[in-house]
Amino acid sequence: MAAKSENGTTPGIPMPWNRPQRKREQPSLSRDQIVAEAFALLDANGIEALSMRKLAARLNAGATSLYTHVANKEELLALVVDQIFGTLPLPEAEGSEEPKVWRAKVMECAESMRAAITRHPWMVGVIGDVGMIYLGPNWMRLCEAQLAVMETAGFEFSEANEAMNAVVGYTIGTACVEASWLASLARSGQDEQEWMNRLLPTVIEATKDFPRLHRLYTTEVSSEVEAGRDNSFTRGVNVILDGIEATMNARRGR
């Protein structure tokens, strides 16, 4: 049975954003300094390079001084990821009554989220593992804004939530695959376009006995890899939005 606090309530899971920072008589590191240095280390060397010991060394501090502000590495990663979410633009609900407007706002959110993940590929190893990142204040502000857009567009609250989850799920899944691919290329020192130019003939040959896949790789693959990824992502989001809009129109009897 869970322990009860003095006021008789069951304590929840402690969140790093709400953790009080202990005060010291001597000048000490701030949480913002720790998060900023962890961010720099992650972007430079990837998630495998992050440890509390290495981070403390970069800050010319003892590891124990870091634990004054964060309980563990998982909390630190949650703080860094939420900081990234805080850089994403928040959509305004105003004007979302028009189909083209709300769709454009949802698309913009999806594109900015995808760009953040591909820009920081180490996030791939964090998004699925650290559940508390979805309780971060910046993430929740983003979700709140997206729900407001969908509600203003005319969706029932449950429909708005389902629609947002569908778009966000597709976005994160696609972006994580892209980020892993780009990170792998970066480690090998290969250019994406050159690698695809070399790989495509092999793929075409390998799919000869599979007519639909063969047609896909001989007629549907863009000659410009980056532009092809962008277009594929946009089409995917639009397919989801088409389904969402059709569901809403059917409910309204249109």
Contact 154, 248 (CB under 8 A): yes
Q: Which residue has the higher pLDDT, 223 or 140?
A: 140
Decide yes or no: CATH 3.40.50.720 for domain 26-70.
Answer: no
pLDDT of residue 6: 55
pLDDT of residue 92: 95
Task: Check pLDDT > 90 for residue 138.
Answer: yes
Q: What mean pLDDT, rounded, does the chain reach?
A: 87
pLDDT of residue 77: 93
Task: Check pLDDT > 60 for residue 252.
Answer: yes
pLDDT of residue 89: 95
What residues contact 99, with CB distance under 8 A and at least 6 apart?
A: 153, 245
Q: What band does 18 get if pLDDT is binned at 50, 70 and 90?
A: low
pLDDT, tens digit (0-9, with 9 covering 90-100), for 171-209: 999 999 999 988 888 888 888 888 888 889 999 999 999
Tokens read off for 41: 């280390």
Task: Check pLDDT > 50 for residue 229.
Answer: yes
- Structural domain boundaries of the chain? 26-70, 85-189+222-251
For the domain bounded by 85-189+222-251, which CATH number is listed? Answer: 1.10.357.10
% pLDDT > 90, the chain: 56
